[in-house]
């Protein structure tokens, strides 16, 4: 760990300058002048981002030794050696080599890459890369978040007595929440509700569903997702209704034919018994599947409206319906006979009444009753006129 190494301030300044290039050196005090040698026991560190060089490209460093004298000629010679060594090296991704100074300088991708972050995202440059964070996400930078972004160009400071590692300022890394989170007042990363803040990219036909660290775009019931668009499902095409179906955006409705009623499931239909609910017929109602029919009593016939019944004139059907006379009545008819006749059991034939036998006549005791078709005749006693003589009653 670097915290266990004694540092010389002059060596520290020089060490920083070297670090901004590529070197990691261990400064060891020695009589006369300090020497900086690569530390074989600790991994190389890319100073710009604080990431081990094994992650930043695994670059091998050259040995560097501080010059014994600090005059301008010696210093220029040392810089030339370093510059020559640097020109033979390449920088890791996110850094460009400054061939004049021999330093690897951070590339500001937020300026060099058009639309590095799209939508409602903000580009934040980092050493060796960049971040895309929501614009509502606060970004905190420590006081030493990027201390070596500018190459050192001033004169080297005078040597100072060593200081303990505990007093050396530490580099604070930026406190940035990962995508989909933002920092609250307690410096804690909490989920961003993109749906509530309207920072999502769902289409107007979609609904936004917030998730931990992001969101999903879904379709409401009655729609299905096709090529990023929510399209209406034609439920009628798939036979959702038993009888009649009407498709509407995002839904559908089922109806039934006349004579049926929609069940509670909203899809199937049930026959309506019109005879028990309405009884539209004047006389007799007969229920059928989905409808009804009206029937009339004997002696009546159904009118053209299919509901009302009218009397049937049976006597008009045939003149031979009765032997004598046909009499029509509402819903029926009867046959009648003339006076002196009686209707037989067939209710259509007439038979003469023998008034003389039934003593249904008006003849006097002195008269004789003589039956006729449909009547009778009273005959007075026979009297013979002279020169005739009566020889019998008849």
- What are the backbone dihedrals phi and psi of residue 263, each rounded to the nearest 5 degrees, phi first? -75, 175
Residue 376: exposure state from Cβ atoms within 10 A (0-12, 13-18, ≥19): buried
Residue 43 in domain: yes
The answer to whether residues 20 and 49 belong to one domain is: yes
Residue 7 shares a structural domain with residue 96: yes
pLDDT tens per residue across span 188-223:
899 999 999 888 888 887 889 999 989 988 898 888
Mind listing the pLDDT tens digit for each residue in 12-59? Answer: 222 222 333 333 344 444 444 444 444 444 444 343 333 334 333 333
Give a yes or no: residue 211 inside a domain. no
Q: Where does the chain have alpha helices with state H?
A: 9-19, 53-56, 72-87, 109-112, 274-277
Alpha-carbon distances, residue 341 vs 278, 346, 365, 374 (angstroms): 50, 14, 24, 6
Q: Is 43 in the same domain as 102?
A: yes
The CA-CA-CA angle for residues 290, 296, 298, to 5°, reads: 145
- pLDDT per residue over 320-377, tens digit each? 999 999 999 999 999 999 999 999 999 999 999 998 988 888 898 888 899 999 899 9
Rounded Cα–Cα distance for residues 275 and 307 (Å): 12
Are residues 35 and 58 both part of a single domain? yes
8 A C-beta contact, residue 43 and residue 53: yes
Q: Reply yes or no on whether the pLDDT at 394 is more than 50.
A: yes
**286 shares its domain with 361:** no
Q: Kindly state whether residue 227 falls inside one of the protein's structural domains.
A: no
What pTM was estimated for this model as a whole? 0.37
Integer distance in angstroms from the first to the last C-alpha of the chain? 174
Q: Is residue 198 part of a domain?
A: no
Q: Which residues lie closer than 8 Å to 203 by C-beta, 6 or more apart?
A: 217, 228, 229, 230
Give the rounded distance of the alpha carbon of 224 from its chain centre: 7
Which residue, 108, 136, 134, 109, is CA-closest to 119? 134
Tell me which residue of 5, 321, 23 sits closest to 165, measured CA to CA. Answer: 5
Final residue before a domain boundary, out of 58, 81, 106: 106
Residue 221 inside a domain? The answer is no
101-132 residue pLDDT tens: 778 888 998 989 888 888 778 898 888 888 88
CB 136 within 8 A of CB 181: no
Q: Contact, 177 vs 133, CB < 8 A?
A: yes
Does residue 320 lie within any of the structural domains?
no
Which of residues 83, 106, 129 is at a domain's end? 106
Distance of CA 170 to the CA centre of its chain: 54
Task: Establish if 255 belongs to a structural domain.
Answer: yes
Residues 331-334: contacts with CB within 8 Å, 24+ apart?
331/297, 331/298, 331/299, 331/300, 332/298, 332/299, 333/299
- Separation of alpha carbons 68 and 259, rounded Å: 111
**Does residue 387 have a cis bond before it (omega within 30 degrees)?**
yes
Q: Which of 106, 137, 153 is the last residue of a domain?
A: 106
Cβ–Cβ under 8 Å, residues 36 and 65: yes
Among candidate residues 386, 370, 323, the one with its CA nearest the CA of residue 349: 323
For residues 17 and 70, membership in a common domain is answered with yes
Task: Domain of residue 245: give its range.
Answer: 235-272
CATH code where residue 286 lies: 2.10.25.10
Q: Are residues 240 and 298 in the same domain?
A: no
pLDDT one-digit tens code per residue, 273-330:
999 988 889 999 999 999 999 999 999 999 999 999 999 999 998 889 999 999 999 9
Helix (H) or strand (E) holding 326: strand 325-329
Q: What is the band of 388 on the pLDDT scale with cuts at 50, 70, 90?
A: confident
What local confidence, expressed as pLDDT, does residue 267 receive? 94
Do 14 and 93 lie in one domain? The reply is yes
**124 in a structural domain:** no
Q: How many domains does the chain have?
A: 4
Q: In this predicted structure, what is the pLDDT of residue 104?
A: 85
337 neighbors 347 (Cβ within 8 angstroms): no
Dist CA 125 CA 108 (whole Å) = 6
Q: How far is the C-alpha of 231 from the C-alpha of 208, rounded, in Å?
A: 16
Shared-domain flag, residues 303 and 358 = no
**Within this chain, do residues 287 and 374 fall inside the same structural domain, yes or no?**
no
């Amino acid at each position: 760990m670097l915290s266990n190494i004694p540092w010389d301030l002059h060596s520290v300044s020089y060490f920083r300058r070297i670090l901004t290039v590529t070197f990691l050196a261990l400064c060891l005090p020695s009589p006369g002048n300090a020497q900086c040698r690569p530390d074989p026991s600790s991994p190389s560190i890319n100073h710009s981002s604080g990431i081990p060089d094994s992650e930043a490209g695994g670059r091998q460093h050259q040995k560097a030794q501080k010059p014994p004298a600090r005059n301008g000629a010696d210093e220029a010679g040392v810089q030339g050696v370093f510059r020559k060594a640097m020109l033979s090296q390449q920088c890791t991704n996110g850094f460009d080599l400054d061939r004049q100074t021999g330093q690897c300088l951070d590339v500001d991708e937020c300026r060099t890459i058009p639309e590095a972050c799209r939508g409602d995202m903000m580009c934040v440059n980092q050493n060796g890369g960049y971040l895309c964070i929501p614009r509502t996400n606060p970004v905190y930078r420590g006081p030493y978040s990027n201390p070596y972004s500018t190459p050192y160009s001033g004169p080297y400071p005078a040597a100072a007595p060593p200081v303990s590692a505990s007093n050396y300022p530490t580099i604070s890394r930026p406190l940035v929440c990962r995508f989909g989170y933002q920092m609250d007042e307690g410096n804690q990363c909490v989920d961003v509700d993109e749906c509530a803040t309207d920072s999502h990219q769902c289409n107007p036909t979609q609904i936004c569903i917030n998730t931990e660290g992001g969101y999903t775009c879904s379709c409401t019931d009655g729609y299905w997702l096709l090529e990023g668009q929510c399209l209406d499902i034609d439920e009628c095409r798939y036979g959702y209704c038993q009888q009649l179906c009407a498709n509407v955006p995002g839904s559908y409705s089922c109806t039934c034919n006349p004579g049926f009623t929609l069940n509670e499931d909203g899809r199937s239909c049930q026959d309506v018994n019109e005879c028990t609910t309405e009884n539209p017929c004047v006389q007799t109602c007969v229920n059928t599947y989905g409808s009804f029919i009206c029937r009339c009593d004997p002696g009546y016939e159904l009118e053209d409206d299919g509901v009302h019944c009218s009397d049937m004139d049976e006597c008009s059907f045939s003149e031979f319906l009765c032997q004598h006379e046909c009499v029509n009545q509402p819903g029926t008819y009867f046959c009648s006979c003339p006076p002196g006749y009686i209707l037989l059991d067939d209710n259509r034939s007439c038979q003469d009444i023998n008034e003389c036998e039934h003593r249904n006549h008006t003849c006097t005791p002195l008269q004789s009753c003589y039956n006729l078709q449909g009547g009778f005749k009273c005959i007075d006693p026979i009297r013979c006129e002279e020169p005739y003589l009566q020889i019998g009653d008849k």
